[in-house]
Amino acid sequence: MTTPTTTAAAPSGSTAEGRAPKNPRTGGRPRDGRSRIRRHLPTSPWLFAAPGLLVAGAFSLYPFLSTVTNSFTDRRTLIAGRFVGLDNYREMLGDEMFWTGLRNSTLYVLGVVPALVVLPLLLALLVQKQIPGISFFRSAFYTPVVASIVVVGLIWVWLLDERGLVNAVLEAVGVGRVGFLSDQWLLLLSAMAVTVWKGLGYYMIIYLAALANVPRELHEAASVDGAGAVRRFLTVTLPAVRSTMVLVGALSSVAAFKVFSEVYLMAGPDGGPAGEDTTLVMLVQRTGTGLSGRAGYASAISVVVFVVTVALMLLVLRADRKEDA
């Protein structure tokens, strides 16, 4: 990053630098303008992208290729495997735990994503306005994001325990005690609640960045037209953050499908009573890690997780494009 600044300071530089933030919105992206900045040194784009590509290649894509090849072997953690063709995939089809995992990971996406698309937006609207003390609230709302998931898990287990705070309240108001941590469905719901709770601040930030981009003139114009807060939200804010909502939807659905920690900490390493809350990534971890891990079989499940997340991503993006049209 230091290289560019050492090049001779073009007189235009300072002007442009000062101009960037002040640039008045001329509305719309000038598509015809693109062609004019096409020319550049032919090697520079690759130089720009090289560090990122090298890291992505060496530490994500390349190791994942070995996961793919492993998925066709019966490799164990410490014992080299033999090629077994599609055996692992065939075994998966007959493995009840695999279907349980697929079901739970899918439910997790359906339960968590709508909440994570909507609630952080509302929260962002709440903290967007400059009122005294708002910086404090913003930072405070961000704390669950920075807290380690292990701590978060411990705290919530304590809160939702049979004799925890939540049950004490429920008992006091006459609802009676609820087995949040013993029923398979309530456990899954509790884990989802923790995911949403922990994700609120994270996506709030992304929304805040987007909200800051909403031109205030639009709000003013709408106000002059006599639109109420709800109308303004629907006609001005929502369209402006729509692409961000898609981004949040895509990121949160991928993260939700790959959920591990929350369920692991709330439902225990076995994934709830009789493993009924196991998610796919938990299954990868359980079957594949440790000194007697079945790396081959776990790799096959990993490949399925990967394929499903790619499909999810495409699905969200496709839905976005359709709305666009």
Rule CB under 8 A: choose which of 48, 175, 221, 315 binds another protein. Answer: 48
271-310: which residues touch another protein (CB under 8 A)? 272-275, 281, 284-295, 298-299, 302, 305-306, 309-310
Find out whether 38 and 267 touch, Cβ atoms under 8 Å: no
The least CB distance from residue 110 to another protein, in Å, is 19
Nearest residue (CB) to another protein, 72 versus 111: 72
Q: Kindly report the three-state secondary structure assignment for every residue of the chain.
A: CHHHHHCCCCHHHHHHHHHHHHCCCCCCCCHHHHHHHCCCCCCHHHHHHHHHHHHHHHHHHHHHHHHHHHCCECCCCCCCCCECCCHHHHHHHHCHHHHHHHHHHHHHHHHHHHHHHHHHHHHHHHHHCCCCCHHHHHHHHHHHHHCCHHHHHHHHHHHHCCCCHHHHHHHHCCCCCCCCCCCHHHHHHHHHHHHHHHHHHHHHHHHHHHHCCCCHHHHHHHHHCCCCHHHHHHHHHHHHHHHHHHHHHHHHHHHHHCCCHHHHHHHCCCCCHHHCCCCHHHHHHHHHCCCCCCHHHHHHHHHHHHHHHHHHHHHHHHHHHHHHC
Q: Does 13 bind another protein (CB under 8 A)?
A: yes
The least CB distance from residue 107 to another protein, in Å, is 18
Tokens at residue 108, please?
Answer: 């997790």
**Distance (Å, whole) CA 161 – CA 182:** 9
The least CB distance from residue 111 to another protein, in Å, is 18
Nearest residue (CB) to another protein, 110 versus 310: 310
Nearest residue (CB) to another protein, 17 versus 323: 17
Q: Does 245 bind another protein (CB under 8 A)?
A: no
Draw the binding track, 75-94, toward another protein (x: CB under 8 A; -: no contact): xxxxxxx-------------
Rule CB under 8 A: choose which of 54, 118, 221, 234 binds another protein. Answer: 54
Nearest residue (CB) to another protein, 63 versus 114: 63
Rule CB under 8 A: choose which of 85, 93, 94, 148 binds another protein. Answer: 148
Draw the binding track, 164-203, toward another protein (x: CB under 8 A; -: no contact): -x--x----------x-xx----x---------x--xx--
306-325: which residues touch another protein (CB under 8 A)? 306, 309-310, 313
The least CB distance from residue 322 to another protein, in Å, is 20
Rule CB under 8 A: choose which of 89, 142, 178, 235 binds another protein. Answer: 142
Q: Does 249 bind another protein (CB under 8 A)?
A: no
Q: Does 101 bind another protein (CB under 8 A)?
A: no
Q: Does 29 bind another protein (CB under 8 A)?
A: yes
